[in-house]
Structure 1
């Protein structure tokens, strides 16, 4: 028997105390069946639901919903793989073990809001000490009348089963087991309970509702389901990508390359299932959380081109851990992980994280049963929301619910390619305004830096000049003098601005080189190198790109295509081509150059020979949040796309 497993034995009954809808206890059910080899399994479910329950269990891994009316409202029972009672029924049907549902069917049952320990503790300390603490807590709580009726019915039914079976595996909630054990040893009369329930229906759960109504978030349920069977081979690295791409010849020939999002997410589930340890072991929630983060980071990098750094990963796990401790949990739930993803990275990563966490590969809208949509309001009363792009809700008893805002998707793979029939391209105006404003800000920073470099300090005599120079005053404190500083004003101004995010030394990541002319007198000419528009389609005729670097030149409509200009041919990188063009087209003496490294001395000498000057600003001195926002831009194939771009640009 596994060191985690613990069974309460009375007579021929071997009872496994469980917490409902928790993966750890579903796995303990598998271990109990393997260790005990029972000749029947009894579940804490009403016998009036036995026929539809069996049918719903046979449909797994497809999820089902059992529903019936009671006191002018509907009662719902979700059949999901990570529930211990469902796992018990599933094993009974798979191994042809007699299955009995022994609970009483009541029309009304009070809602209990009982704080329970985090189920993850079972994986660390085992079930025996966990159950002792929970049972001690329940002894202090007065049971409701409905609880006593149910427990008497279950104890009586177990007495009946014990006359015919010698090894009964009984799956029961921890709140009831101790009292059922006491009642089992007493003579009981057959209770008056409902023998039949009218109006019980079974339906297929709509796939869009999985993230909102499942007790365990769908990614965790999918991993548990995958690891129940022999593990599939691990998908190859560098397989299907979330980035939608096409080639020009495909468009010309009318062909479309189909990449389904579901395929990529399913591969992430398979890859994670293989990396959670040997077959048959209980998946560790901490490792599941790590795999979810790593796979979401990979999808995020494919879509945005941004890497998730190690310091961001550390911040995410520290934030999520502390948030969980504030709510007296050992590990965070999905709501808390999404809050950490949004706060420690950004909204795009939080969306990638949510999209994978809410993916359950086997659920389909089409089914042999009617499909039903359920929301948090249909099952639970308490909700809370988090706003990034998705919207999330959480239900009571520590279970999370997530609900997405509607975001447009392709109705059929390749549908968006039909918008690329316009040969002209243009930019998205809101992004133009943002980058023009940032260019003006960089010019101001360049002027300020040059003024400080040309400033001078002197001992105070008759004028304070531009203020006290504290550094020089402290440095010469032994002189007993106060130094003041004069910032010399820069004559003229800054002509062009060059920003280099990535020099693209291998010339592979940013092959798309373009020169755009300003459309009006308040817009600069622009030359840039970026990722190809064909790599990431986000709407009909709308592509999402990422700058490697760009040049802003004002006034507009003066710049020639710098990428085909023979003056810049030679052994120059793309960043150096932009700097050379900036020096040539700048009407002012100074050019601002922003990059991770300063330009080569040759370029500074060239600037001096033509009467120009390069003001270097380190990329690391600027706000990384602002740079990340500016680095992404959209290419629209036709000006008619500007009206609808707001629905697809995010």
Structure 2
């Protein structure tokens, strides 16, 4: 990134124009120090807060807040807050000065009556692509028509005078200054200036540690970006090894025997995710691309989301997420989305659970603690920024009135190691009835949807002549409004009903994630026969004789008690995968002409030929066209070892 650097030089002063609290400018400060090798660094802050500011810089990466009372108003004194966070270029300049033992000077003028500026600035990410020179030139041309205020001129003349004084002592000065002021400071430096009339001491300046909850809300660069910047300032941490740990608590049979797995704390797993993001957010010594940081944030959040819900973020959801976030950012005049826009995209394109996982990781800053060597303060966004944007998450959790909303914390546990394994003495297995009802209802819904799709395929539209047929087709009429003709629609009902239903969540091409295969027969006339493949039951034991699994795919066939074990049927040996076995069985056992096939992609063409020879037809429904929330609710099943477990299963299944 050195070629993106731009410095304005006047006398011994090398001035770097910056925007405050932006990641790209914090890195440009590092590049400027390498290039200039200054014997003094000056920053745009008043000397009246020098002592607490230097203390705050020494505390980094812990984030501090400098607070003092400003101008008086009718409702009392105005509270002034200054955040000292890693991604701010002024803080980075002071930090480098302390680390490299370079003299540091705070050259701004202390004022109580400085108005708040709201400027429509281009996205700072543009600097990563085009460099600072064209960015600053465009900004300077746009700002030339804006007349500075009285306090602006007072501050600028004061900083020019201090730089003149520093120029008498130092041969190379790096000056980190806001873009808004730099051009006028440069002009003032070339003319004699008088010492400013200003406050030389400020009473009541206090330094606070920022509370972790406030840290999630008020940082200008959200904590994940600040954490990545902090980690990449020094040697990168080694690749984290989670040893297969996840944020979801689950126990296998072996772990129950030895007394349960000792899970890593959730905070440590989140820290590992941040470290992975820091390692992969840039190449070598190159400064990380903000766009790449956001991509790594998405990847790690998707990883946690799959661990917790068992459902992956599909490619179409990923594509929709980034398209929506990009368009949202462009609509607000930015190149890349901010955290609020990312969360809105996550909630809209995936679901609330993913949005919560993204927020939890994006706002995680593991250095911040509630207890510190200085007092801790909580600050709301309204106090420091004057407003906020709010978003609500509604993760799907089971809640009970009068109990904690974290219901999983009240789940029953083993009283002694191996107690739950005693429930596996019954050799028979059965399902959990509430899940049976849910999946049968969804099977009927898919049959209706398949029948409607067939009807749509057989319907035809034609211009109105003598008959309205089944009614006016408004869509086609509006599409051809220039013709001045009315179009009517004729709907034809498909011959033959829908029999079997096949749903494929994961094709499991490597044959490793869903090795458990079985066939279940319906227990009564209202249940279908079922064949499925799923995760191993022994990998997640949730109660005595109760195992939790996740479907990779399943087949429903009605009427019940007709299906043999499809996984050992020699007629299906030529199938290449488990989904193909289920589809062949569906064609074989379907009493109706049509078979519904739900999957991410349609089956191979040979299966349509096989179906035609059997006098049947495959109706493919894309998995992405169905509700992801509903699919998650039916994807989980529990296997009970013995019918007696149905009486106690509700105490262990959530």
Aligned twin of 1:418: 413
TM-score by length of 2: 0.74
1:74 aligns with 2:76: no
Counterpart among 369, 373, 377 of residue 372 in structure 1: 377
1:617 aligns with 2:619: yes
Structure 2 distance, partners of 1:62, 1:546, is: 42
The CA deviation at 1:517 is: 9.4
Most deviating of 529-538 and 68-77: 529-538
| Structure 2 residue matching 1:418: 3-state secondary structure | coil
1:509-533 residue CA offsets vs partner (Å, 9 max, x unmatched): 2245678899999777866443356
| Structure 2 residue matching 1:62: 3-state secondary structure | coil
Aligned twin of 2:27: 27
Aligned twin of 1:6: 6
Q: Judge conservation of contact 1:533–1:635 (CA < 8 Å) in 2.
A: no
Structure 1: gaps (5+ residues): 391-405, 456-462, 468-483
Structure 2: gaps (5+ residues): 396-403, 425-429, 460-466, 472-489, 641-645
1:110-147 residue CA offsets vs partner (Å, 9 max, x unmatched): 22111112112222332233222222333322222332
The CA deviation at 1:506 is: 5.9
Aligned twin of 1:548: 552
1:256 aligns with 2:261: yes
| Structure 1 residue matching 2:200: 3-state secondary structure | coil
1:191-242 residue CA offsets vs partner (Å, 9 max, x unmatched): 3322222332222223333332111122222221111102233346985444
Structure 1 distance, partners of 2:596, 2:50, is: 73
1:355 aligns with 2:356: no
| Structure 1 residue matching 2:15: 3-state secondary structure | strand
Counterpart among 125, 138, 141 of residue 143 in structure 2: 138
The CA deviation at 1:578 is: 7.2
TM-score by length of 1: 0.75
Structural mapping, 1:174-193, within 5 Å: 174-193=179-198
Most deviating of 237-246 and 143-152: 237-246
| Structure 1 residue matching 2:120: 3-state secondary structure | coil
Aligned twin of 1:221: 226
Structural mapping, 1:366-405, within 5 Å: 366-387=371-392, 389=394
The CA deviation at 1:447 is: 6.4
1:437 aligns with 2:437: no
| Structure 1 residue matching 2:238: 3-state secondary structure | coil
Q: Judge conservation of contact 1:466–1:487 (CA < 8 Å) in 2.
A: no
1:339 aligns with 2:340: no
The CA deviation at 1:77 is: 1.5
Structure 2 CA distance for partners of 1:575 and 1:10, relative to 1, 3 Å: closer
1:76-98 residue CA offsets vs partner (Å, 9 max, x unmatched): 22111110000011011111112
Aligned twin of 1:629: 630
1:230 aligns with 2:235: yes
1:306-348 residue CA offsets vs partner (Å, 9 max, x unmatched): 4555555444434333332222222222333333344444444
The CA deviation at 1:19 is: 0.6
Q: Judge conservation of contact 1:428–1:634 (CA < 8 Å) in 2.
A: no
Counterpart among 111, 115, 122 of residue 127 in structure 2: 122
Structure 1 distance, partners of 2:222, 2:122, is: 18
Counterpart among 504, 514, 518 of residue 510 in structure 1: 514
Structure 2 distance, partners of 1:243, 1:191, is: 61
Q: Judge conservation of contact 1:227–1:279 (CA < 8 Å) in 2.
A: no
Q: Judge conservation of contact 2:253–2:541 (CA < 8 Å) in 1.
A: no
Structure 1 distance, partners of 2:57, 2:29, is: 15
| Structure 2 residue matching 1:191: 3-state secondary structure | coil
Q: Judge conservation of contact 1:235–1:271 (CA < 8 Å) in 2.
A: yes
The CA deviation at 1:305 is: 4.6
Q: Judge conservation of contact 2:109–2:158 (CA < 8 Å) in 1.
A: yes
Aligned residues: 594
1:577-622 residue CA offsets vs partner (Å, 9 max, x unmatched): 9789989999x77895636548999xx99x99xxxx97743353x6
1:18 aligns with 2:18: yes
Structure 1 distance, partners of 2:239, 2:92, is: 25
Most deviating of 169-178 and 307-316: 307-316
Aligned twin of 1:481: none
User: Cα RMSD between the aligned structures?
Assistant: 4.9
The CA deviation at 1:20 is: 0.3
The CA deviation at 1:452 is: 11
Structure 1 distance, partners of 2:330, 2:491, is: 52
Q: Judge conservation of contact 1:590–1:615 (CA < 8 Å) in 2.
A: yes
Structure 2 CA distance for partners of 1:530 and 1:161, relative to 1, 3 Å: same
Structure 1 distance, partners of 2:407, 2:156, is: 50
| Structure 2 residue matching 1:3: 3-state secondary structure | helix
Aligned twin of 2:481: none
